[in-house]
Amino acid sequence: MALLELQDIHTYYGAIHALKGISIHVDEGEIVTLIGANGAGKSTTLNTICGLQHPRSGSVTLKGESIQHLPAHEIVTRGVAQAPEGRRVFGRLNVTENLEMGAFVRVDKDGIKRDMERVFTLFPRLKERAKQVAGTLSGGEQQMLAIGRALMASPRLLLLDEPSMGLAPILVEAIFDTITEINAQGTTVLLVEQNALIALSVASRGYVMETGSIRLADTAEALRNNEMVRRVYLGET
Amino acid sequence: MLRRLLRRVSGTTVFMWLIGIAMLVVVVWGVYATLSSGRYKASDWIDLTVYGIAQGSVYALIALGYTLVYGILRMINFAHSEVFMSGPFIGYFVAMALSQSGFFNRQPFVSLIIVLLVAMTVSTTIAVLLERIAYRPLRRAPRLVPLITAIGASYFLQYTFLGLFGSGIKGYPEVAQLKGYWPFPGTSSGILRTQAVVIVSAFVMLAILYVFVQRTKTGKAMQAVSEDKDAAALMGIDVDRIIVITFVVGGALAGAAGVLYALLFKQVKFDMGFLPGIKAFTAAVLGGIGNVNGAMLGSLFLGISESLFPNLVLDGLGLPAPYQLKDALAFIMLVAVLIFRPTGILGERLAVKKA
Ligand SMILES: Nc1ncnc2c1ncn2[C@@H]1O[C@H](COP(=O)(O)OP(=O)(O)OP(=O)(O)O)[C@@H](O)[C@H]1O
Ligand SMILES: [Mg+2]
């Protein structure tokens, strides 16, 4: 059974039909990527999984249980966490407090402490700035904090929305190394990216979205060699 | 250089600064005239300042309700002045019942605590009902809609109390032990006992609130929700629950403020919320609306200025009946802040850094 499965999801913003029948699945232990142009509906897909948007029809199931009617804060307790697009860290709280918020639903003090150490090991830069107010962190540090904060929920499934956005190439590489490491430690990852090249290099499978629909679904290897993907998303001629 | 500077400065800005400078000159002149006339002793100034602190600490308890709700919903809860009124109003009936049974005179402090708890409960209930009935259904409406609803709710509550209990002034029973002064040791001056009790109780509650917001998990979740509701929901924070908690906290503080206010002025009335409400709102804007520390500082600043202003400034200017103008000061300050520093004293400085 897939860890996460979306079946024929239709999501609207008022009259705007943003997702037109999306079906995807993510198996335990995978890194799956969702690529596509601006406005394709990638963030909407993640937000529909997280309960920030509710689909008008279709189902989202987590380990066979449908979750599409649950409010966002309950979906977190089922083991899904998202590092949203644009980081959205709490600017007036410091780094440690942001991480504590990530663990909001947890009560196992020891586990929280262990995960905080884990985040600080993954991102030593955050440890140096533990008491710094998040609003004054650099863009890259905020991205690390957003990922770290999502990890603090100890999720089974981690959703990442454009972790490379606005970062220098060297930092992008470092972040993706960390994502691979997080996955190797046992967290399943659904990764949304504009940067198709790097996304397809860390993922095992991928989906290509276009204006609210899934255009292609294949292994990362096959997508990298797909002629349309090479032309449109990898910028080759 | 000069020309470039001039191009950036518009006519209105210059005009506004002239008004500002004129206000400053008037204030300095008034202060100078008063002080050089030698009409007041040092102990008079101390008395006025203490009274101002008492007044300001009550404003602070109310102002926090405005500022916390604004921080989370970006709306001014104009019905908060009625949340403030309802607690001590119902508390009055409890106080009278206790007084008639003789319990109030035998155990005045226990009685006051009972009245305080009743008032806090009533105010909290009203605040929570307001949120549930009047504001929550409008969460996604344009910002003006809940604002108008708040004003409507404010009048609804005022006239409900007027209809149920009449328009008369209701006198709180006096506490014999709180009459008179406690002298400052080694001096001829002292502090009015009621004022001392008001200041100490208010500061204790302010301290508790401060620790709650800054240190507890729920308090931090309140800050998170006030910054970004969706991101907070992604952390597993139940945003609706946090909003209710915000109204509970604001309501409880307002109810407590109401009892302290009734201690200072010994009476309640259906429209007693209006002036302190709008002054506390002014204080919250003064300190930077949405900012907890700002609300506390702005309130103390307003309370003290209001208390000193008639004697210190207006008297020196030779104005007749300066006390009549006391209430106008809050509104002058409100307008001045909105013109010269719309973000208030501590307002949103961090938000600028955040960009
Ligand atoms: N809050 C909203 N209200 C109305 N329409 C929205 C809203 N959010 C997104 N949309 C629309 O839904 C569509 C999908 O948006 P979405 O943010 O999911 O795209 P995306 O694939 O994440 O794009 P990007 O790569 O630019 O982040 C777009 O046409 C967008 O304009
Ligand atoms: Mg997006």
DSSP label of B212: H
**Residue of B220, B236, B350 with shortest CB distance to A77:** B236
User: Rounded to an integer, what distance in angstroms lies between the CA atom of residue B51 and that of residue B305?
Assistant: 11
Residue B140 to residues A86, B66, B143, B146, B331: CA-CA distances in angstroms? 23, 20, 8, 10, 31
The answer to whether the Cβ–Cβ distance between B230 and A149 falls below 8 Å is: no
CA distance B349 to chain A (A): 10
Tokens coding B10: 């518009």
- The ipTM (two decimal places) reads 0.94
pLDDT for position B347: 66
Whether the pLDDT of residue A8 is over 90: the answer is: yes
Closest ligand to residue A161's CA: 2
Model confidence over A39-52: pLDDT tens digits? 999 999 999 999 99
CATH architecture of the domain B52-143+151-340 equals Orthogonal Bundle (1.10)
Burial call B1-24: b when 16+ CB within 10 Å, e when fewer: eeeeeeeeeeeeeeeeeeeeeeee
The residues whose Cβ lies within 5 A of ligand 2, an ion, are: A 43, 85
pLDDT cut 70: percent of chain A above it: 99
Q: Where are the beta strands (DSSP E) in B179-314?
A: 181-183, 190-192, 267-268
Angle between helices B217-227 and A95-102 (to 10 degrees): 100
A91 reaches B (C-beta below 8 A): yes
Tokens coding B240: 């609706």
Q: Count of residues for chain B? A: 355
User: Rounded to an integer, what distance in angstroms lies between the CA atom of residue A203 and that of residue A219?
Assistant: 8
Q: What is the pLDDT along chain B (355 residues), one digit of tens a residue?
A: 667 766 777 777 888 888 889 888 988 888 888 888 888 888 888 889 999 999 999 999 999 999 999 999 999 999 999 999 999 999 999 999 999 999 999 999 999 999 999 999 999 999 999 999 999 999 989 989 999 999 999 999 999 999 999 999 999 988 888 888 888 777 777 889 999 999 999 999 999 999 999 999 999 999 999 999 999 999 999 999 999 999 999 999 999 999 999 999 998 999 999 999 999 999 999 999 889 999 999 999 999 999 988 888 887 787 777 777 788 888 888 888 887 877 887 765 434 333 3
Distance of CA A66 to the CA centre of its chain: 20
Contact between residue B232 and residue B239 where contact means Cβ atoms under 8 Å apart? yes
Please indicate whether residue B338 or residue A221 has the higher confidence score (pLDDT). A221
Contact between residue B328 and residue B37 where contact means Cβ atoms under 8 Å apart? no
Q: What is the DSSP track for B295-348? A: HHHHHHHHHHHHHHHIIIIITTTT-SSGGGGHHHHHHHHHHHHHHH-TT-SSTT
Residue nearest to atom 17 of ligand 1 (CA): A43
**Residue of A84, A105, A136 with shortest CB distance to B236:** A105
CA A44 to ligand 1 centroid distance, Å: 6
Contact between residue A73 and residue B230 where contact means Cβ atoms under 8 Å apart? no
Beta-carbon pairs below 8 A across chains A and B: 76
Model confidence over A111-150: pLDDT tens digits? 999 999 999 999 999 999 999 999 999 999 999 999 999 9
Rg of chain B over Cα atoms, rounded to whole angstroms, equals: 22
Tokens coding B109: 């402090």
User: Rounded to an integer, what distance in angstroms lies between the CA atom of residue B86 and that of residue B120?
Assistant: 9
Burial call B316-347: b when 16+ CB within 10 Å, e when fewer: beeeeebeeeeeebbeebbeebeeeeebbbbb
User: Rounded to an integer, what distance in angstroms lies between the CA atom of residue B140 and that of residue B145?
Assistant: 10
User: Rounded to an integer, what distance in angstroms lies between the CA atom of residue B303 and that of residue B214?
Assistant: 25
pLDDT for position B1: 64
CA distance B220 to chain A (A): 8
A135 reaches B (C-beta below 8 A): yes
Please indicate whether residue B337 or residue A191 has the higher confidence score (pLDDT). A191
SS3 A5: strand
Give the HSE-up count for residue A208: Cα atoms under 13 Å, Cβ half-sphere: 20
pLDDT for position B334: 84
Residues of B in contact with A107 (CB under 8 A): none
Tokens coding B146: 């809940």
pTM equals 0.92
Report the pLDDT averaged over residues A197-224. Answer: 95
Short-list A65, A64, A67, A63, CA closest to A55: A67
Vertex B217, ends A143 and A75: CA angle to 5°?
A: 60
Amino acid identity at B322: P
Contact between residue A15 and residue A23 where contact means Cβ atoms under 8 Å apart? no
Domains (range + CATH), chain A: 1-79+155-237 (3.40.50.300), 89-152 (no CATH)
pLDDT for position B348: 57
Name the A residues in 42-71 with CB < 8 Å from any B CB.
50-52, 71
The set of protein residues with a Cβ atom below 6 angstroms from ligand 1 is A 13, 16, 18, 36, 38-44, 85, 194
